[in-house]
């Protein structure tokens, strides 16, 4: 069936390096994607979103890239900091007007 998933369950990066978290989707009708950050014991927080009419969107230290040809999106975090350690989820309505479907998440660990 259709799904939103992540390539890797864990990612470790050195403090100050850039991080790239990937997400694959299979629903061709997907037109909106959101990245959430979830710190331990807390609810997910919105980071950045992108619509299918865009290839790239930038926020503060974060960039989301969307490749509709291969149905892939990525979250890039520049100059990763210890506070970036969290689980990152991509989410997608998968054609639904009522709910989002979440990937399984990637645990980002920032090493000192």
Rounded least distance, CB 68 to other proteins, Å: 16
| 91 vs 110 by CB, closer to other proteins | 91
| 12 vs 16 by CB, closer to other proteins | 12
| 27 vs 76 by CB, closer to other proteins | 27
Rounded least distance, CB 34 to other proteins, Å: 5
Strand pairing of 86-92 and 32-38? antiparallel
Environment class of residue 21 by beta-carbon count within 10 Å: exposed (0-12), middle (13-18) or buried (19+)? buried
| 22 vs 44 by CB, closer to other proteins | 44
Positions in the binding site for other proteins (CB under 8 A): 9, 31-32, 34, 36, 38, 41-46, 49, 87, 89, 91, 93, 96-102, 104-105, 107
The label of the residue with tokens 């991080």 reads 19
The sign of the CA dihedral 63, 9, 103, 44 is negative
Rounded least distance, CB 100 to other proteins, Å: 5
Q: Which residues contact 17 (CB under 8 A, 6 or more apart)?
A: 79, 80
């Amino acid at each position: 069936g259709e799904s939103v998933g992540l390539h890797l369950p864990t990612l470790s990066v050195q403090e100050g390096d850039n991080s790239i978290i990937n997400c694959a989707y299979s629903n061709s009708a997907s037109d909106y994607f959101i990245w959430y950050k979830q710190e331990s014991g807390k609810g997910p927080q919105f980071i950045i979103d992108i619509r299918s009419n865009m290839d790239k969107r930038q926020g503060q230290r974060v960039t989301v890239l969307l490749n509709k040809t291969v149905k892939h999106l990525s979250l890039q975090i520049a100059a990763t900091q210890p506070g970036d350690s969290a689980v990152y989820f991509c989410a997608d309505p998968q054609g639904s007007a009522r709910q989002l479907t979440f990937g399984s998440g990637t645990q980002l660990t920032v090493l000192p």
